[in-house]
Amino acid sequence: MNPAAAAAALALLAAAPLSELGHTSGRRALDRAGQALAAVAGVLLLVAMAAARPAARPAAILAFAAAALAPRGLPCLLGAAAAVVAAVRPLSESTPAGLGVAVLVGALALALASSALQDAVEEPRGAAWTGVAAGAVVVVTLIAVDGGRLLRWRYGLASGAARIELPGGARVLGLALLVTLAGSLATAVHLLARAQPASRAGRTGQSLLVLGAGLAALGVSVVAGQGLSRRPGAVAAGAVEVAAMLLAAGLLVLALIRLIAEPRPDAAVRSRWPRERVLGLAAAASMLAAATAGFESWRAEGTYATPALAEAASAALLGLVAVQSTRLALLRVALFVAGLLGLVFRAV
């Protein structure tokens, strides 16, 4: 494990809730503390880059962007996920190509777009629905990891002869799946029934979501700890899955901060730029990433018909769609962020 990348991941994991608490409560000291931690994480990731850690490159861009351009919890969380991969997975012959300038520009676009997405979901009545959506992300992620084996209370890292079974992690993650599913359903029923805020279904759903977030975070810690103590190579092989579970749990934590803190409309820390301008910058950066991917593809392979260019161009088209003033704005921004996630994390 790379110590610098691991420390950067911890710093970004701390910066995400600090930034969210600062933005929600209007306490600029917390917001600035989150930015400072993100900047420190960026420096640590630059150190990790010298140790042949490819995922540290986009993670460093995400960290610096979270500190200077888009100081919100979601960019910090995305940087933490990439830093986790960088901490356990060094450069090897199996590392995919595409770690050029296009990916770095795509990481910048991802930081800006994720900040705009977080602003878009922060409507006064949307906190509870955000919690439901984040809980659904946790459930889907836990079902998808390790080929769905968690549904049979089994979980392991890697495959073939290098695979290790983690029964302890499977139990904790399985409980997290069930509890989060119950919390999401209870909260959704409460919202659809238009019940009073203090109804039993609403209180039960919120409590279950809090417990599910804690169990998911604990499960990721158990998986990482057991894997590193038994076979570090297996953790490196399953680094993307571990990072995905960490990202899903972090999304639920950020949603719960908004849900529990009950933000006042006049207390939020105002962003440096309006959301529309941040989204426009993200779309412009995605177009630049597509152009850069085309140049790199032509220089490396002599053709533009490469998967890297196709992914970059798809993300750029989603960016152009996201900036249009039409219906379903939140969905369009979310699709744009998903496209950028595919572009950036393909390289890690």
Q: Looking at residues 108-118, what average pLDDT do you find?
A: 88
Q: What is the pLDDT of residue 273?
A: 66
> Tens digit of pLDDT for each residue in 257-315?
887 765 555 555 555 567 788 888 888 999 998 888 888 888 877 777 777 788 888 88
Domain locations in the chain? 1-120+273-348, 125-261
User: For the chain, what is the mean pLDDT?
Assistant: 82
Q: Looking at residues 112-119, what average pLDDT do you find?
A: 86
Place of tokens 């412009």: 284
Q: Looking at residues 337-345, what average pLDDT do you find?
A: 84
* Per-residue pLDDT at 98 exceeds 50: no
> Tens digit of pLDDT for each residue in 131-180?
888 899 999 999 998 888 888 888 888 777 778 888 888 899 999 999 99
More confident residue, 221 or 92: 221
pTM of the model: 0.82
Mean pLDDT lowest among 74-83, 112-121, 142-151: 112-121
Q: What percent of the chain has pLDDT over 70?
A: 88
More confident residue, 118 or 219: 219
Tell me which range, 21-25, 26-30, 120-124, 208-212, is most confidently predicted by mean pLDDT: 208-212
Q: Looking at residues 32-42, what average pLDDT do you find?
A: 88
